[in-house]
Structure 1
Amino acid sequence: MQINCDLGEGIGNDTELMPYIDEANIACGFHAGDAFTMRETVALCIRYKVKIGVHPSYLDRENFGRKEIELSPEEIYLLVKKQVETLKNITEQAGTKLNHVKPHGALYNTSAKNEVVAKAIAKAVKDIDPSLILFGLKNSHSIAAAKNLGLKTAEEAFADRKYESDGSLTPRSQPGACFENVAQVLTQVQKIKADTWCIHGDGPHALEFAKALQKFKTPQ
């Protein structure tokens, strides 16, 4: 069981979360973060032996990347390519390497249900580094597109988000979409199979949930 977390978003809890996660998805400036926070978060990953991932988003800092933007496949490709290359350069300068790519927010949700967007993202990842793992929602177009191009994939589930009966995430605008206690998180983890579990670093209970999952994963 791997635990991943969205970091480098200016929330201020990255250092506290690092000991309890396995994989970090680092914001690349399009929805949050900048060159300084990327370098800082990469350094933390090295210190705590956390795998480094790119968290590309729509260019939409105003809405934290959580609003879908209509773009052509070529625009999606370039959007992702630029963000992956940016963090790849910073990571290599620090003497380490990238492990994975996980789209953020609306880009993640759009790629899960839109085959054209999913293919554009997967192609950008493969063209930069075919050894990278693409994280995506279980049974989504994201995973299928990546596999069709020969990329390694990790099927992801969300420990701190509610799901609908069709397997999609409950929209954040609806009550109860984001869990508020550890019991809900642990119940979800035990009933869904996934390669990696996400905790949102910007959630008010992120550290509490990460600690609980780490303890669940490695009971004393």
Structure 2
Amino acid sequence: MMMIDLNADLGEGFGRWRLTDDEELLSVVTSANVACGFHAGDPVTMRRVCELAAERGVRIGAQVSYRDLAGFGRRAMDVPAAELTAEVAYQIGALEVFARAAGARVAYVKPHGALYNRVVRDEEQAAAVVAGVLLAGATLPVLGLPGSRVLALAAEAGLPAVTEAFADRAYTDAGTLVPRDRAGAVVTDPDTVVERSLDLARSGTVTALSGTRIEVRARSLCLHGDTPGAVELARRVRARLLESGVRVGAFV
């Protein structure tokens, strides 16, 4: 039977401001990408999400980012490789403290936003991210786009490379994500998102923005938590997968 992991970006608030419905999403997903304070999140939020995830048996992942709170980690930045390596390790280490306190561990690493897209093609930045994971002292899986440099370098370094797909993001014919500043970059129709999720899980294919059918083989499916109606949409996606014979389970 086919099986796919469902992940969501969680803990993306700061102080009194909250963006995601962490508690409800943690009842749906199997992996939680927890913001580590660089694009969103703070110590109290990180601790709370780790506790909730541990209670529900959801895997905890470090969602590492460029240091960009004001831009939510979605602005292009040029960070020296050595600095990026240290900052990635720092974020993983910070989250690990709260994961351990909750009786769990950080189980994987996923870059966020501009960093996620940058390490698809940028050899130096991708190598810096992998070096940061290694510096954190664990052979953690790295979650990323199929065919990305960061996954290739992670595998070369002995780290499990886990492919990921997005049902609510438009793809180019090359299999990369359409930049958010382009029209149609985000798929907003709930029915379309649900059916794209099923296609990705069962056939490993999706329709690109151009209308071309492309292959996107993924072990994990991302459900964005910062979109309107995110919780209900996540529930619909999970229910559709299960009723179609697709098992839902964490990749680690």
- Shared fold (TM-score greater than 0.5)? yes
- Shift of residue 114, structure 1, vs aligned partner: 0.4
Task: Give the counterpart letter for 1:205 in structure 2.
Answer: G
2:224 matches 1:200: yes
2:68 matches 1:68: no
Deviation per CA, 1:24-75: give whole Å up to 9, x if none.
Answer: 0000111111000000000110121110000011111111000011011101
Q: Which residues of structure 2 form unaligned runs of 5+?
A: 14-18, 200-204, 206-215, 245-252
- Shift of residue 12, structure 1, vs aligned partner: 4.0
- Shift of residue 90, structure 1, vs aligned partner: 1.4
- Shift of residue 208, structure 1, vs aligned partner: 2.6
2:109 matches 1:101: yes
Secondary structure of the residue aligned to 1:20 is: coil
- The answer for the alignment partner of 2:7 in structure 1 is 4
Deviation per CA, 1:60-103: give whole Å up to 9, x if none.
Answer: 11110000110111011011011011001111122211110001
Secondary structure of the residue aligned to 2:125 is: helix
- The 8 Å contact of residues 7 and 14 in structure 1, kept in 2 or not, is answered as yes
- The answer for the alignment partner of 1:124 in structure 2 is 132
Moved beyond 4 Å, runs of 4+: none
Task: Name whichever structure is richer in helix by fraction.
Answer: 1
Q: TM-score of the superposition, structure 2-length normalised?
A: 0.84
Deviation per CA, 1:164-209: give whole Å up to 9, x if none.
Answer: 1111111111222111123322333302421101011111132132
- The 8 Å contact of residues 180 and 205 in structure 1, kept in 2 or not, is answered as no
User: Identity over aligned residues, as a percent?
Assistant: 37
Alignment of 1:114-153 (within 5 A): 114-153=122-161
Deviation per CA, 1:135-163: give whole Å up to 9, x if none.
Answer: 01111001101001010111011121111
- The answer for the alignment partner of 2:53 in structure 1 is 45
2:28 matches 1:25: no
2:250 matches 1:219: no
Deviation per CA, 1:104-133: give whole Å up to 9, x if none.
Answer: 100111111101111111111123233311
Taking structure 1 as reference, are residues 7 and 62 closer, same or farther at Cα in structure 2, changes over 3 Å only?
A: same
C-alpha distance in 1 between matches for 2:113 and 2:190? 23
Q: Which residues of structure 1 form unaligned runs of 5+?
A: none
- The 8 Å contact of residues 182 and 208 in structure 1, kept in 2 or not, is answered as no
